[in-house]
Amino acid sequence: MLPLSLRIRGLHHQYDENKVLHDVNIDIVRGEIVGLVGPSGCGKSTLLKSILGTLTPTSGAVETFEPGSSDGQRVTGPGRDRGIVYQRYALFPNLTALDNVAIGPKLDETSYPFRVFNFPAWRKLRAQHRERSAALLKKVGLGDALDKYPHELSGGMQQRVAIAQALVMKPAILLLDEPFGALDEATREGLQGMLLSLYEDNCAARRAGEAPPYTILIVTHELNEAIYVGDRVIGLSQYWDWSGDGFDGPPGATVIYDRAAPVYRPNAPKEYEQFMAQREQIRGAVFEPKVSPKRGQHVDFWEAVAAEPHGIFACDV
Amino acid sequence: MVRAPLASRWVWLLGGISVLVLLLGYSWISHGQQLENPNDTTIPSLAAMLDGLQRAALDEDWLWVDTKATGYRLGVGLLISVVGSVLIGVLMSSLSALEALLLPPLTLAAKVVPTAALAVFFALVGTGTELYITMIVFGISPALTLSIYLAAKAIPVELIDKAYTLGASHMEVIWGVVFPAVVPQIIDAIRLAVGPAMVYLIAAELYLGDEGYGYRIRLLSRRLEMDVVYPYIMLLAGFGFGIDVLLTGLRKQLCPWYVEG
Amino acid sequence: MTIRSTALFALALVACDGGDAPSSTPATDAKPAAEKPKVTPVFSLAWSEYPSWSTFGVAHELGLIHKKKGEMGEIEKKWGVDIELKEADYDTCISMYGSGQVDAAALTNMDSLPIAVTKTTVGILPTSTSFGADALITTKSVTELAQLKGKPVRGLESSVSQYTFERNLELAGLDAKEFTFTNADPGAAAMAMQQKQDGFEAIVVWNPFVMATLNKRDDVHVLADSKAIPGEIIDMVVMSQSSLDKPGADAFAHAVIDTFYTISDRIENEKTRDETLIKLGEKFAKLDVESMKTIVDQTKFYKTPEEALALFGSDELKKVMDTVVAFEMGHGMLKAKPEIGYGKKGGAPTAAFRFDGSYIEAVKSKK
């Protein structure tokens, strides 16, 4: 069993009488890129907030794992082990791109007294932070925009900075909440390609025997995007067959679909036929109100990957 | 066509023309008054006002004494207000308990007319410099605090959550993330507060001062020496304008990232 | 044309008919076209709350003068003049008069002089003189004026308060330069002293602040007041020469004077005294009858035309004005030394300020 980065067990949530999430169980292995899809109202944002820690679920637990550790840390609030990139309001408007990325290490590793009273040491540390941040920004393709303010950057560039800002913290998992929804097609594709290149780095690390650096959960509306970018797609839905399980009313959304998705190389042409079939499968299972699959019907990721290693599981081969 | 742009030389020209019209219009009214009564001083000519200013500045020491007195009161009053309002406004926006506690009294206090409450302050703090500073602080701090509070609250919660994921402590979120992002709004709110601050200060000086612009204006108005009073009023307007320019410049320096509107 | 004139005639009928008593018919209401309405001259008087000036407020209450333009009370109708009464605080009255917004104002002789330098002013009626109405109030521990040397004495600068203070110093043989008279609004100074605030152990104020302070604190007393200088601070109604030159000005002056004496008579008359004092009190700081009686004593009314004319014609007045002018010149209140005239315009054509009793004469003879 490969090391985990995130574990969700028995997560239920309801707002007053409104049951939103029911018994959500997800394990995410270090180095995966998981696409999370679901119809509106299925509780994707509730689930995301539970992982992020800005919401306490009615019951259940979320745990994260540092690399090399098999002890999970329970999530009680937002922390540096879970990074987030939102669709909008991505960056601090009063900081340049470089400072936006460098502010993470600054906030995490230093305190006011240190910065004020030990200024020489802080200066040195700050230079290191800036170097690290510059390197990361270059990696996401923004080497030339280090000194620009967010209002001077295009939407796509802002999201790249936001991703770098989150990744510089080396979180156990990076959460992307519909990050490319406000962008045009071409920009979106560029950013998707950037995520795929991160995945390549994951595989390279695995092959070298190191922990893959980037674990990503991307929540998206776009089925194409989930299949293209992710090596695994999880579908959350309230449209499932809960009759006969002893519920009085709709118990809420749960994981209805959990299967591997093909791994693409960045810049490789998208073969639409390849994922058309999977698209239709997901749509039917997850999005169609009239179709109510049984709970385990499309959930067979672990069995499949045990039988035939795929994606990150197949890297050390 | 609505909002069709105008070449900048026309903007300057038209602005200049309207100021000129104002000056000429005033001179005409003044001239008319002089014809009716050559000794009249209630609408002095521009030349007479210049003489008056000279008298206040050079013959007497009025101008220097008054500027020092009024200036000190305004400066200290503004300083205390700004520091207090920033502290409370930013903290209010971040701590829900503080917000619930302070929002009702601040909203009410912002509606109290300080000039009407002058007698109350007078009873509480006497008639020295403390009175003027109290008038200013009480007059502008509630509204200033509320402006800053609202600006800080307008920061998207996403940025605050994000700051926590970047390892920020609570203090760092408040002072390292929220506060720097609202500095331009703080400066703009201060700019708006300077006018009322001057109004309250001058009102108090009119009533109780023994030096300062308000005092001098009242004293000389009783003697109908408008050739000094009007220049004084214009100087006050000039100072207000000057402070505004300084603050705008400060904002541009400190917040190069800020885009208005 | 026929249609138009018919329509106009119909309109005129409707206008005549609207709101009339049911008994009148259109025929009796048709007016002859040639009658022109008479133009009643309009004049304005600014007054502030003060015992002898609040009489004008009472005049409105009693229906003698209606304070609004366009409405006429008894005395306005008697003299054929429409008077507008404007109540404001004292400083505002000064600026209203100085800028020509009103024809006449209730001012003291002291405050009229600076204005008179630029705007020829005529005193047409003396209403009262301060006889204790302006007072220096100190804590009882201060028993002599000399004890106040170097201590702050608070009152309105360049006003009757400062005048009262310095004249009292003069009479006691003291030099005003050794004393610090510091500006403060009389109302504020009185309040501060009542609250026992620092720096307000000696104030010079006028009524009603004098009475209010004495009532509110047991440990203060009047150390000096205008009783020492009777007839020096004269409360008056003054009018600008330019307004006097307008048609109907005489009627206005007469009406104002007539009003004052009418009310003064009512105060003197046993039967109407209390009622009038109550009304006066309402217009003056809401004081009760007993307080008003004291006030009226301290603000010695010039109750009859005879008293007023005696004042205007006296030699003492000339001496008083010399003292007042000297005081004001010494304090830089006057741009130039004003010439003071006594009598009608012809007798003192270049006087900046004139005491003219001819209007009082006219009212007296008509009575």
Nearest to B51 by CA among B226, B242, B261: B226
Calpha distance B23→B16 (Å, rounded): 11
B81/chain A closest Cα distance in angstroms: 25
Calpha distance B30→B37 (Å, rounded): 10
C226/chain B closest Cα distance in angstroms: 22
For chain C, what is the radius of gyration of the CA atoms? 25
**With a CB-CB cutoff of 8 Å, which residues 214-233 of chain B face chain C?**
215, 218-219, 221-224
Q: What percent of chain A has pLDDT over 90?
A: 58
B118 domain residue, yes or no? yes
C106 domain residue, yes or no? yes
Q: What is the pLDDT of residue C4?
A: 53
C189 domain residue, yes or no? yes
Q: What is the pLDDT of residue A255?
A: 93
User: A40 or A92, which is more confident?
Assistant: A92
Query: Is there a single domain that holds both residue A162 and residue A176?
Result: no
What are the backbone angles phi and psi of residue B244, rounded to the nearest 5°? -60, -45
User: C318 or A243, which is more confident?
Assistant: C318
**With a CB-CB cutoff of 8 Å, which residues 240-259 of chain B face chain C?**
none
Query: Is there a single domain that holds both residue A193 and residue A59?
Result: yes
Q: What is the pLDDT of residue B261?
A: 61
**With a CB-CB cutoff of 8 Å, which residues 258-297 of chain C face chain B?**
none
- Amino acid identity, position C284: F
Query: Is there a single domain that holds both residue C95 and residue C175?
Result: no
Query: Is there a single domain that holds both residue A15 and residue A105?
Result: no
Nearest by CB to residue A149, choosing from B156, B169, B257, is: B257
A86 domain residue, yes or no? no
C11 domain residue, yes or no? no
Q: What percent of chain B has pLDDT over 70?
A: 99
- Name the average pLDDT for chain C: 85
**Count of structural domains within chain B:** 1
Q: What is the mean pLDDT of residues C260-286?
A: 84
Q: What are the CA-CA distances from residue C124 to residues A313, B253, C55, C105, C360 (Å)?
A: 112, 65, 16, 10, 7
Q: What is the pLDDT of residue C196?
A: 87
- Name which of A110-114, B44-48, C35-39, C171-175 the model is least confident about: C35-39
Query: Is there a single domain that holds both residue C86 and residue C126?
Result: yes
- Give yes or no for a contact between C49 and C85, defined as CB atoms under 8 angstroms apart: no
Among C190, C208, C228, residue at a domain's last position = C228
**Chains B, A in contact, 3 or more Cβ pairs below 8 Å:** yes
B45/chain C closest Cα distance in angstroms: 14
- Give yes or no for a contact between C55 and C35, defined as CB atoms under 8 angstroms apart: no
B46 domain residue, yes or no? no
- Give yes or no for a contact between C131 and C227, defined as CB atoms under 8 angstroms apart: yes
Residue A124 burial (10 A CB sphere; 0-12, 13-18, 19+): exposed
Nearest to B222 by CA among A4, C126, C108, A138: C108
- Give yes or no for a contact between A315 and A203, defined as CB atoms under 8 angstroms apart: yes
**Contact call for B222 and C99, based on CB within 8 A:** no
Q: What is the mean pLDDT of residues C206-227?
A: 89
> What are A141-162's pLDDT values in tens digits?
898 989 999 999 999 999 999 9
Nearest to A222 by CA among A191, A265, A250, A267: A191
Calpha distance C182→C202 (Å, rounded): 10
Q: Which two tokens stand for residue A114?
A: 């240190």
Measured between beta carbons, the chain C residues lying within 8 angstroms of B222 are 91, 94-95, 111, 114, 158-159
| Secondary structure, 3-state, A175-216 | EEECCCCCCCHHHHHHHHHHHHHHHHHHHHHHHCCCCCCCCE
**Contact call for B168 and A151, based on CB within 8 A:** no
Query: Is there a single domain that holds both residue A49 and residue A118?
Result: no
What are the backbone angles phi and psi of residue A27, rounded to the nearest 5°? -115, 130
**Contact call for B169 and A111, based on CB within 8 A:** yes
B49 domain residue, yes or no? no
Q: Is the pLDDT of residue C128 over 70?
A: yes
Query: Is there a single domain that holds both residue C75 and residue C147?
Result: no
Beta-bridge partners for A177? A219
Q: Is the pLDDT of residue C29 over 50?
A: no
Q: Is the pLDDT of residue C14 over 80?
A: no
- The range of the structural domain enclosing residue A138 comes to 91-170
Query: Is there a single domain that holds both residue A163 and residue A98?
Result: yes
DSSP assignment of chain A: -PPEEEEEEEEEEEETTEEEEEEEEEEEETT-EEEEE--TTSSHHHHHHHHHTSS--SEEEEEE--TT----EE--S--TTEEEE-SS--S-TTS-HHHHHHHHHHHHH--HHHHHHTHHHHHHHHHHHHHHHHHHHHHTT-GGGTT--GGGS-HHHHHHHHHHHHHTT--SEEEEESTTTTS-HHHHHHHHHHHHHHHHHHHHHHHTTSPPS--EEEE-S-HHHHHHH-SEEEEEES-S--TTTT-SS---BEEEEEEE-----TTSPP-HHHHHHHHHHHIIIII-TT----TTTEE-HHHHHHHS--GGGGTT-
Q: What is the mean pLDDT of residues C26-31?
A: 47
> What are A66-108's pLDDT values in tens digits?
887 888 899 999 999 999 999 987 799 999 999 999 999 999 8
- Give yes or no for a contact between A78 and A54, defined as CB atoms under 8 angstroms apart: yes
pTM of the shown model = 0.81
Query: Is there a single domain that holds both residue C165 and residue C289?
Result: no
Please name the residue that has the structure tokens 């090391």: A3
Helix axes B118-125, C186-194, angle to 10 degrees: 40
Calpha distance A69→A13 (Å, rounded): 29
Residue B84: CATH number of its domain: 1.10.3720.10
- The range of the structural domain enclosing residue B176 comes to 55-254
**Contact call for C183 and B224, based on CB within 8 A:** no
B125 domain residue, yes or no? yes
Residue A19: CATH number of its domain: 3.40.50.300
Helix axes B226-254, B46-54, angle to 10 degrees: 80
Q: Which two tokens stand for residue C246?
A: 């307008």
**Contact call for B127 and C199, based on CB within 8 A:** yes
Residue C201: CATH number of its domain: 3.40.190.10
**Count of structural domains within chain A:** 2
Mutate to test the interface with B, among A55, A81, A94 (most CBs of B within 10 A): A94
- Give yes or no for a contact between C262 and C75, defined as CB atoms under 8 angstroms apart: yes
Q: Is C83 helix (H, G, I), strand (E, B) or coil?
A: strand
**Contact call for B224 and C95, based on CB within 8 A:** yes
Q: What is the pLDDT of residue C2?
A: 52
**Contact call for C99 and B42, based on CB within 8 A:** yes
Query: Is there a single domain that holds both residue C224 and residue C255?
Result: no
C307/chain B closest Cα distance in angstroms: 30
User: A269 or C163, which is more confident?
Assistant: C163
Calpha distance C258→C305 (Å, rounded): 10
A85: closest chain B residue by CA: B162
